[in-house]
């Protein structure tokens, strides 16, 4: 598939509580209208942190999905700010986001997860947020309200959390949890 363009967004936040890395989110726009989102890390840098700056919280993008998120939050009894934080980290509110691993839409549902939760079009914001919120609710229930384990499972999969008896020792997963928690503190 021919790529139309690339652009990189690099943001930094100096928080002493996190290990220091350089982090970039790369958006790749494709001819079919999909946006592939992936992360690039420079672990040699000592001056940069995961993306958590105010540019992540674009109020226009956030507001565009408030109604859907509020509805899913009430239906599945889940904090709407947690849903917002997951969407910020997963797709930066890009409904056509497609990861290199095949995760789709705002909450980056894998096809088998989408199917499990009745999502027939993972790029439809209503379906994606409903399915992703229900999945996150199920993970919180499974891990008895432990948000850290639920987020680890959302990112790395339940099998990985079970295999390691907790958060898997994957840098991606550890950074994912930190990013979601940092965003939650700022909402």
> Residues 110, 120: contact at Cβ < 8 Å?
no
Between CA 21 and CA 19 the distance in angstroms is: 7
- Residue 182 maps to which CATH number? 1.10.530.10
pTM reported for the whole predicted model: 0.72
Which structural domain, as residue segments, surrounds residue 11?
3-186
Q: What is the pLDDT of residues 5-61, one digit of tens each?
A: 444 333 333 333 333 334 455 556 666 666 665 554 433 332 223 333 333 455 667
DSSP element (H, E) containing 15: none
CA distance 124 to 81: 20
Question: pLDDT tens-digit profile of 111-170?
Answer: 999 999 999 999 999 999 999 999 999 999 999 999 999 999 999 999 999 999 999 999
Q: How many domains does the chain have?
A: 1
Active-site residues, by number, are 90
pLDDT band at 85 (very low <50, low <70, confident <90, very high): very high
Instruction: Read off the pLDDT band of 63 (50, 70, 90).
Output: confident
Residue 45's Cβ-side half-sphere holds a number of Cα atoms within 13 Å equal to: 16
d(C-alpha 163, C-alpha 72), whole Å: 30
Does the CA dihedral 145-176-26-13 come out positive or negative? positive
Token representation of residue 54: 């105010």
d(CA 106, CA 124): 9
């Amino acid at each position: 598939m021919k790529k139309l363009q690339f652009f990189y967004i690099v943001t930094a936040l100096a928080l002493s509580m996190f290990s220091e890395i350089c982090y970039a989110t790369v958006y790749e726009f494709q001819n079919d209208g999909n946006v592939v989102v992936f992360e690039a890390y420079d672990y040699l840098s000592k001056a940069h942190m995961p993306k958590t700056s105010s540019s992540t919280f674009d109020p226009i993008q956030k507001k565009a999905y408030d109604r859907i998120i509020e509805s899913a939050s009430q239906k599945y009894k889940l904090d709407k700010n947690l849903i917002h934080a997951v969407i910020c980290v997963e797709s930066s509110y890009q409904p056509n986001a497609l990861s290199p691993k095949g995760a789709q839409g705002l909450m980056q549902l894998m096809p088998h997860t989408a199917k499990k939760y009745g999502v027939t079009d993972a790029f439809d914001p209503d379906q994606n947020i409903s399915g992703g919120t229900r999945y996150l609710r199920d993970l919180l229930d499974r891990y008895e309200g432990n948000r850290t384990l639920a987020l680890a499972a959302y990112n790395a999969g339940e099998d990985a959390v079970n295999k390691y008896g907790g958060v898997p020792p994957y840098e991606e997963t550890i950074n994912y949890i930190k990013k979601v928690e940092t965003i939650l503190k700022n909402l």
